[in-house]
Amino acid sequence: MISTAASNRMTTINSEQFEKICDFVWNDRASILMGRGSLSGEATLMRAVFWRLCKAGIKTNGCADNDSSKPAIDAYHLIVGRMLKMNARPAFDAGPILKALVERYQHEATNEN
């Protein structure tokens, strides 16, 4: 069950809901990757996960600090991890879900050439 605020926005997330967000990102990857600018494909997908979490109502307070010396994918991975640490109920390891998303992209990108 999704815990929601009065505005119908998600305030907590479970692993199934998070996996669904990652699946939506994967299914929409063509349009997501078109607007990536100078980001790698992997970082662009991670950024899309971040923004979908924000749109779902997952709070970013206190977790959006970004060290600009880190590659973008690491920065987005860190931020998504912090968002989930604060809002996942029950707590779950998002690493395997995010890893699968990135690996799917890498496999697809490799096979296009």
pLDDT in tens, 38-64: 889 999 999 999 999 988 888 765 454
Region 92-103: mean pLDDT is 94
Joined together, the tokens standing for residue 44 give: 């662009």
Euclidean distance between CA atoms 106 and 111, whole angstroms: 9
Q: What predicted TM-score, i.e. pTM, was given to this entire model?
A: 0.71
3-class SS letters over 83-106 = HHHHHECCCCCCHHHHHHHHHHHH
Q: Is the pLDDT of residue 79 over 60?
A: yes
Average pLDDT over the chain, rounded to an integer = 83
Euclidean distance between CA atoms 104 and 54, whole angstroms: 23
φ, ψ of residue 4 in degrees (nearest 5) = -130, 160
